[in-house]
Amino acid sequence: MGEWVEREPSYLSFDVYNCAYCGKMIPRHIWFEETDDQRQAFCNPDCSSRFRLARQRAHTEESTDTSTG
Ligand SMILES: [Zn+2]
């Protein structure tokens, strides 16, 4: 479960968030979701679900599958 957070424009100049999954810079609307008791920032809910899937796969299988990043 996550939530959208809209940042104040004044924060933009010195504090930048990047999506925990795709690494894209998130300018304004951040999707926050807790994974392993950590609050992560994502550019959208889709990335957060992909992030969780990737972590689950990493736990089950050691081999790294390098698909589109
Ligand atoms: Zn993303």
pLDDT score of 24: 95
CA of 20 to the centre of ligand 1 (A): 7
What CA–CA distance (Å, rounded) separates 47 from 35? 12
Ion ligand 1 contact residues with beta carbon within 5 A? 19, 21-22, 24, 43, 47
How open is the CA angle 2-8-52, to the nearest 5 degrees? 20
- Say whether pTM exceeds 0.75: no
CB 43 within 8 A of CB 52: no
> 9: Cβ–Cβ under 8 A, 6 or more apart, which residues?
28
CA of 18 to the centre of ligand 1 (A): 8
pLDDT score of 27: 83
CB 23 within 8 A of CB 3: no
Per-10-residue mean pLDDT of the chain, 69 residues long, equals 84 74 92 89 96 88 58
